[in-house]
Amino acid sequence: MCSDNRQSPTEKLKSQKGASMAIALLYFLVCAMVGSVVLAAASANVSHVKMEKQNEGNYLAVMSAAELLKAQLKECTGEWESDTYEQSEAADLDRKMELKQEMLNLIMSSENGMALKQELLHDFYQSYLNCLDQNKLVVSGERDRSEHSRLTFELEGDGMAPVTVALTVKPDHMVLNGHNTQQLYVTAEADLSVADEAFGQYQIRLTMGGLIHYTLNEEEITENDPVTGESRKVHRYTSQVIFSPEKPYLSGKRQTGGGSE
């Protein structure tokens, strides 16, 4: 007797139903994978756009602060002259050093109401004072950082993130080194940065050079004493300081931490 291998209609339906479920599951898996890839790409794109927007904001903040600092540095140019000081004896080295130091107070008092300019001028002239030894300029360069003057402050603008400025003024080289006339070339480097925990730190550097010129005018005269009528010698001293800054320029920028260069 021959066996009948044909499936009944019920068996065929069950077989097709199982195959359809397998195909449906496979289709669902494919769709889920495609969806996850699309979602991941969209999320990455949103994150990238957000990062670029944040980076742009940081860039605008530090550039605005740099322009403000440029203007302040340019305004540091100036000339200051002390009142005439008289004494009967010629000034020794210690007294001449005191006359140089007294000019710092004169420069500060002449810029009342301009706090940032005062601080900048203070650091420029202080870097000159730091290089004086026995009334002569001594510039030892990078090895002696005690000659450097440092200043840290913040600049803020409307709708902008606060920008931290770390300014270092350091002597570069001597141009003239006499007892009564001295010229020192200094370099100012300002690192402007915006710190962001999520996107890292955006930073640029502003560099400017400048010449500090100090002159002590010394005069010896003979005059008659108004009381006794006797002749006497008088030594007169006048100090003059000239600061001539060069044009500031951006010398580098970088981004550290998160984000892209």
pLDDT at 251: 75
pLDDT at 141: 58
pLDDT at 48: 44
Share of the chain above pLDDT 90, in %: 36
Most confidently predicted of 37-46, 58-67, 211-220, 252-261: 211-220
Residue whose structure tokens are 């003057």: 149
Residue 201 has pLDDT above 90, yes or no: no
Residues 6-24 pLDDT 10s: 555 555 545 555 566 667 6
Q: In this structure, what are the phi and psi dihedrals at residue 162, rounded to the nearest 5 degrees?
A: -65, 140
Residue 247 has pLDDT above 80, yes or no: yes
Mean pLDDT of the chain: 79
Q: What is the largest CA-CA distance in the chain?
A: 163
Burial of 4 per CB tally in 10 Å (0-12, 13-18, 19+): exposed
Q: Are 61 and 192 in contact (CB under 8 A)?
A: no
Burial of 88 per CB tally in 10 Å (0-12, 13-18, 19+): exposed
Most confidently predicted of 51-60, 139-148, 176-185: 176-185
